[in-house]
Each structure stands twice: as structure tokens, then as C-alpha cells.
Homo-oligomer: A and B are copies of this chain.
Amino acid sequence: MLPLRLMKRTTIKDIANQLGVNPSTVSRALKDHPDISPALRRKIKELAERLHYRPNQMAVYLRQRSSRLIGLITPEITMFFYPSVIKGIQDNLHDHGYNLIMLPSNESPEREIENIRICAENDVAGILLAFSRNSRLSTQFSVLEEIGAPVVMFDKILEDLPYDAVVLEDFQSAVEAVTYLAKSGCRRIAGIFGNPNMRITQLRLEGFRHALRHLGLASSDDLFCFADSAYEAEKCARALLTNPAPPDAIFAMTDEIIIGALPAIAASGRKIPEECSVICISDGFLPYCLYPQVTFLHHDGYEVGRLAAQQLVRLIESGDYKKENRSVERIMVKTQLIELATTRRVEL
């Protein structure tokens, strides 16, 4: 006998032939259609089992004009935040019988467009989308509009796009971070931010400045900078600390930034947190690995992924996304402060 792998896959027709019935009868029997007698139904199911019958999803998708595939488009997949998001998405999607097709854009808007096209070609049931740094409204939008499937954005969103989104409290997190530092006694608070094109950068920067203003603290241009990588963040931190009037606290906008900044602060010879406090926004894994462990605002990637997937499934199954005047939903994921070793303790 041939090895199984070289055998033709059993189809509905094979079952029908062996039983002398029509393929349609088999199809109906397998999905418990009441038109088929229980006896026949059992016979068909038994044979299907015996022949290891598995429906060809491609055929189903084609006929049904939609797959059970979800396209996941992200600028990056390895670093920090995204793996947990993906896990959140996966766990939720699996429960609803959808499968994920991964389409990383590597921070390239062109690749992003290509990925959206791939989604279209594969008749995905829905798209989960976090944009690259340099994606712009007009270009990305027109391609997305060609898709018949619902879209849910998360994390790195384009605010004006008429799709639902799951986001973190970026503005508010920065406010909280700064406020916490101030409460712990810091007076000159510096910030290191990511790519200034990204909306999350803008929001966190706004929050940062808003808090400083509100607290009556200095907020001059030499107290913040932008860094696109850990390496640049290290340079930024060094520059901030050699200022004539150096900060007594540093807020790092992301995991990536803290990785560069923390060694620079340590290298400057300052005691942490006494001479320089440090706080960052993180998914929650890295701060525990660093030394000293960094106080951070927990941005829960898993939760973001879970909620985005949940919302997408809801849209798919209700069909609501097709409605003309549906208003866009923004789902906020709460942030939590985790006090570790790089800040002075505050009585709250």
C-alpha cells in the first residue's frame, strides 16, 4: 500500500460513490441537515471517518465567497510588544475557528499595501492592522477601501481612518508617568521619544508636556528628544545628561528606548533612582530583566490583541461593518503603574 502522504485526498465524491448516493447528500449528511435520514447520516459519517475525510477548505471558501482566514499586518513581529499582541489575537481567534495569516510590513508602507492586497486576494474574513511609522492616510486608505472585509486597527493606528480600533492610553500614560516622577520629588524631567511621525509618539509627547505644564515644571526643548532605535536612545540619554542643567529623571517612551537609555544613565555614574529616576512604558517583560528593574506603565499587549480579535470577530459575524452609517468604535485598554527599582517610592 502506498504511504498515506501520496494518496489522493478523499473527497465528498469518493464517499458518495462508495455509498451509491449523491455528493449533495453526503454534504448535507455531514452537516446534520434534517433532510437526510438518521440512518444514512450515520453511515456517511462512519465512512467519512474511516477514509479520513477532511473538507477542502479552499473549495468551501470559494463557494462561500469568504474564508476563515484573518490577515494580521504589523510593522514588526519580533520586538517587545508585538509577540504578546499576536498571542492575544491567536488565543481569541482560535476559539472562534479562525486562522491567522501573518503579514509583517517591516516598517515599509509599500509592503503594507502589498500585504493588504494579499489579504484581498486570499479573501480574508477580516484584517487586523497596526501601521508602520511612515504610513500615510491617503495612500493606505484607498487600498483598504477595496477590501470587502472588516478592518480593526490596533496600537499604531491612523486616527482618521473609519475603522474600529483598540488603543492604549498613550496621552494618559505619559501624564501618569510624569506625575508619578514629580510626586517622588523629581523636578527636571526629561523624555526620550520614538519616531515623531507616529501617533503614539505624538500622544505620549503631548501627555508628557501637558503634565509638565500642569505641574509647573520646566519643559524646555533640551528636555526631550527623539530616538528611532536603542542605539540612538543611548546617544540621546548621554546628551541629556551632559546638559548644563541635566535632568533628575528620565521618561522613556518604549522598551526599545529604555534598553539604550538605562546603560547610558548608569555609565554617567549617577545613582538610580536617587540622582536620576527612570520610568518607561512597556509591555511588562523587559523591565524585570533590566538592572535595576525599571518602574513602568504596563501597556498590555496581550489584552490589546485579544480585544482587537474579539472586535473583529464581532464585526465579521454580525456583518455590522457593512452598514452605511455605523460610527467608529475606539476601545481603550487601561494602563497600570508598576513600581520597581528605578523610582523613589511615593505615598499615594
Interface residues in chain A, defined as those with a beta carbon under 8 Å from any beta carbon in chain B = 3-6, 9, 52, 54-59, 61-62, 67, 69, 77-79, 82-84, 86-87, 90, 99-104, 117-118, 120-123, 145-148, 259, 286, 288-292, 322
Contact = CB atoms under 8 A, between A and B. Distances in A.
A55 B145 contact: no
Contact of A145 (B4, B54, B57, B322): B4
A322 B58 CA distance: 23
A122 B58 contact: yes
A123 B57 contact: yes
Contacts of A99: 101-103, 118, 122
B56 A123 contact: yes
Closest 3 CB pairs of A and B: A291-B291, A78-B83, A4-B145
Contacts of A289: 259, 286, 289-290
A289 to B, nearest CB: 5
Contacts of A322: 6
A78 B59 CA distance: 33
A122 B78 contact: no
Identical chains in the assembly: 2
Contacts of A83: 77-79, 82-83
A294 to B, nearest CB: 11
A145 to B, nearest CB: 4
A42 B64 CA distance: 33
Given A56-B121, A61-B58, A120-B54, A148 B286 contact: no
Contacts of A54: 117, 120-121
Given A123-B56, A291-B290, A77 B86 contact: yes
A5 B145 contact: yes
A142 to B, nearest CB: 8
Nearest to A86: B77
21 contacts: A6-B148, A9-B120, A9-B148, A52-B146, A57-B122, A58-B58, A58-B61, A58-B67, A59-B62, A77-B87, A78-B83, A78-B84, A78-B86, A82-B83, A87-B104, A99-B101, A99-B122, A100-B102, A101-B102, A102-B102, A289-B290
